[in-house]
Amino acid sequence: MRYKKTIATCSIATIISLVYQFYPNEIRTSKAGLEIIGNAEGCYRDPYKCPADVLTVGIGSTEAGGEPIVRNKTYTDKEIAERWVKDIKSAERCVNRWANGNNLPQGAFDAATSITFNVGCDRVKYSTLFKYARQGNINAMCNQFPRWVYANGKKLKGLEIRREKEKSLCLN
């Protein structure tokens, strides 16, 4: 008989409070933006392989940011918050550079950061979504989110839910 390993989870609300406690001025993304990202990604103390077969820990944190993941380690809330801030900052840099982020209203910035966190800068930097952001056409930008619901050629319900939340925040 095979047993499946249980992966320890953590609280998104706790991690967000630690972000504000220890890194209050390091990111621009609002609590509403962090909640969309956190609730969509989930929070896991133990490293695991995500659906894209990438080693992941915490709130969607991979080794792409240059920070190695220790496979058999159980991460603390503080370590998860620290990794997440680094990952959010990376997504924000992309939004600022490729989507004129410094001039986006807060909701649009948060939504752009969320989708960038999810799909990566290389996938969105030349997108129509970012093109509209650069042009300052926020309404057109926000209406692009529902197009981003496919992974590996399949439409995913989880992405549909996330994109509707991002669109709503963007239009707010």
- Choose, from 10, 26, 35, 41, the residue flagged as catalytic: 41
pLDDT over threshold 60, residue 56: yes
Query: Domain map of the chain by residue range?
Result: 12-171
Instruction: Please name which of 155, 159, 161, 127 lies closest in space to residue 141, comparing C-alpha atoms.
Output: 127
Residue 64's pLDDT band (cuts 50, 70, 90): confident
pLDDT (mean) for 25-31: 97
Residue 4 has pLDDT above 60, yes or no: no
* Mean per-residue pLDDT, 155-160: 94
The predicted structure's pLDDT at residue 139: 98
- Of the candidates 75, 80, 63, 89, the one whose C-alpha atom is nearest the C-alpha of residue 13 is 80
Question: Per the confidence metrics, is the pTM higher than 0.75?
Answer: yes
Q: For 154, phi and psi rounded to 5 degrees? A: -115, 140
Q: Which of 10, 43, 50, 121 is catalytic?
A: 50
Is 50 one of the annotated active-site residues of the chain? yes
Whether the predicted pLDDT of 131 surpasses 90 = yes
Task: Examine the residue annotation and report whether 166 is marked as an active-site residue of this protein.
Answer: no
Return mean pLDDT, the chain. 93
Cβ atoms within 10 Å of 72's Cβ, excluding its own: 6
Which amino acid appears at position 101 of this protein?
Answer: G
pLDDT on residue 51: 74
Has domain 12-171 been given CATH number 1.10.530.40? yes
